[in-house]
Amino acid sequence: MKKSILKTLVLKAILIAGFFLMFWSNGFASSHREAPLISNDPLADNTDLYAFRSPDNPNTITIIANYIPFQLPDGGPNWASFGENIRYEIYVDNDATKAGAEIIYRFTFTVKNGDGSTFFNIRLGKENLQTTYKLEKSTNGGMTFTTVVASGMVPPPNIGARSIQGAAGLGAASYGALVNSAITMATSGEKVFCGPSDDPFFVDLAGVFDLGNFRPTGNSKNPTKDGVARFNVHSIVLQIPISMLQKSGKDVSMASTILDADYVIGVWAAASRPEIKTLSTSGGNPTYSGNWIQVSRLGMPLTNEAIIPIGDKDKWNATKPANDIQFAKYFSNPELALYMDDSQFGSAVPSLNELRIQAKSLGSFDFRNGKPGLWSLKGTPAVAGTALDDAVFGTILLPDNKSPRAVDILPAFYTGVPNMIPYQLATGKNGNPLAAGKPFINNFLPTLGDMLRLNMAVPVTPRTSADFNSLGIVYAAVLGLTDARYNGDKSIQNIPNMDGFPNGRRLEDDVTTIELQAVSGVVLAAIGLWYDDYSGTGSPVTFRLGKVLGFTAGPTANDIAFKTSFPYVAEPWRGTDYTMKERF
């Protein structure tokens, strides 16, 4: 009997260990372990990037860069923290006439032990693995840096009540009190927080990477699951006055319209390590030397996960956005589109049946991979003066007769979308997609690189508004096409959710669903290139368009509410409140 019990326990232990090995080897999310090399270096792994106009302080922009994926709240005795010998950097490009980013924020971290005589992380008011940081800022593209935070504090992991609030631990009033005490002001005027937080991303990881087995609704035996629920990450959060980011130092009150092109910025984050690491034979810390090498980066979500193929993922992580044109072919004919095309592999991925790309929009335009798209319009009087005119936008949007998505997916990732024909809502176009329509986005920064682009002049949609929606710009388009408050004419209006992804990225935005809908052609439909089942009369919101708008990739919200004020991310899950049953 004892041997049988022992055998059962051993088998369970093997299964659990095998499960976690599989999970850590294969888990992906917005940018969690998304490339072979970075999957072996979690401390330097970008997971997500957000940039949005602060809902409670609209004269500022909040940028959140998350790192270190899949942190178990009870993962002691050595919890994850920002790594030493890593440069964590946030880049802001606000001037397309200059190469690279104008503003760079560089964070470096130091870890020390307060009491090396105990195996506990926290005991009697002292903290081991205590992390501090230095923040340096450059406003000249990285030529010089100035220290603006000399010694910022990182809160400890949220281990449990005894460690955080107990008399034998830190004796803090609450974990939230530690978060608040770690918020600091840089000497240059930014509000800063660095520390552990709940992972704000949400996605059905198991379904996505099971060959596209999305589970929008799930069932009792196979429910959809948020694959990063109840995991923690480490967040770097900056709140920056808009006047500090605008290229001429203008406050948002000086914007000419809510889509003023002078208020567009591009944001990306990265991590770099020294090129040489030397291990110690005595068990001491390694030494580092040589040039700093970029090992991870992130701009638009899901680029390296779902667009760049495995053979180029490590190369993409090492490449600066300024050199991204070499990857353009993957956006002009995205692999995901093959699974939304019945002439290719559409039938092989049943969960994407609701997403089908226009093969005969307006009777003639085919946007399936390898098809001409809008190529037949190239050089014609119909596109003169529009974004499709070579004299206006070069040959990027219409490079050849077999790159159909260079007209929508490529600019969304590489240039942003300009407020010019044809990139305006079909409202007011009277059936002609090349006519002037209703503006709904202008985050055009033509620097030809992957970054999160944000027009800082666009007003905030209150999170408590009945119109607030996690579909971001897609929902703004829906309102602009169908809602009587906004579809009466083609004037510029503040349509709710114009401040949502891909015009920046809010914490609440369901980027997985939005990007899948975009690959299926929803943006093309929004500007008047309707789905094939539109007859030319009646409502263009056809059965097919309704199917696309009704599609979700699974989880549509985070597993815990976000804070309503800085740093906005939710507190990290507490180790003693975490159980395998709740997680799985």
Please tell me the distance from the alpha carbon of residue 327 to that of residue 332, in angstroms, as a whole number. Answer: 9
Reported as a single tens digit per residue, the pLDDT across 93-118 is 999 988 899 999 999 999 999 999 99
CB within 8 Å of 57: residues ≥ 6 apart: 239, 566
Report the phi/psi class of residue 129: left, alpha or beta, with left for phi > 0 and alpha for psi in -120 to 50: left
Helices assigned H by DSSP within 144-251: 161-164, 175-182, 205-208, 242-245
Please tell me the distance from the alpha carbon of residue 274 to that of residue 288, in angstroms, as a whole number. Answer: 6
Secondary structure of 504-534 as H, E, C letters: CECCCCCHHHHHHHHHCCHHHHHCCCCCCCC
**Whether the predicted pLDDT of 49 surpasses 90:** yes
**Whether the predicted pLDDT of 7 surpasses 60:** no
**C-alpha separations of 21 from 18, 74, 228, 321 in Å:** 5, 17, 16, 33
Establish how many alpha carbons lie within 13 A of residue 413's alpha carbon, considering only the half-sphere containing its beta carbon: 30
Q: What pLDDT does 80 receive?
A: 93
Please tell me the distance from the alpha carbon of residue 62 to that of residue 582, in angstroms, as a whole number. Answer: 32
Please tell me the distance from the alpha carbon of residue 66 to that of residue 153, in angstroms, as a whole number. Answer: 17
- Residue boundaries of the structural domains of the chain: 2-299, 325-553
- Across 202-225, average pLDDT: 77
CB within 8 Å of 334: residues ≥ 6 apart: 307, 369, 405, 409, 519
Please tell me the distance from the alpha carbon of residue 453 to that of residue 504, in angstroms, as a whole number. Answer: 5
Residue 478, helix vs strand vs coil: helix
pLDDT band for 355, please (50, 70, 90 cuts).
very high
For the chain, give the mean pLDDT: 91
Q: What pLDDT does 197 receive?
A: 98
**Whether the predicted pLDDT of 25 surpasses 50:** no
Q: What pLDDT does 579 receive?
A: 57
Higher-confidence residue: 12 or 533? 533
Reported as a single tens digit per residue, the pLDDT across 67-81 is 999 999 998 898 999
pTM: 0.93
86, 160, 82, 177: which is closest to 121 by C-alpha?
Answer: 160
Q: Is residue 292 a contact partner of residue 87, using CB atoms and an 8 Å limit?
A: yes
Helices assigned H by DSSP within 140-198: 161-164, 175-182
Reported as a single tens digit per residue, the pLDDT across 448-472 is 999 999 999 999 999 999 999 999 9
**Whether the predicted pLDDT of 321 surpasses 50:** yes
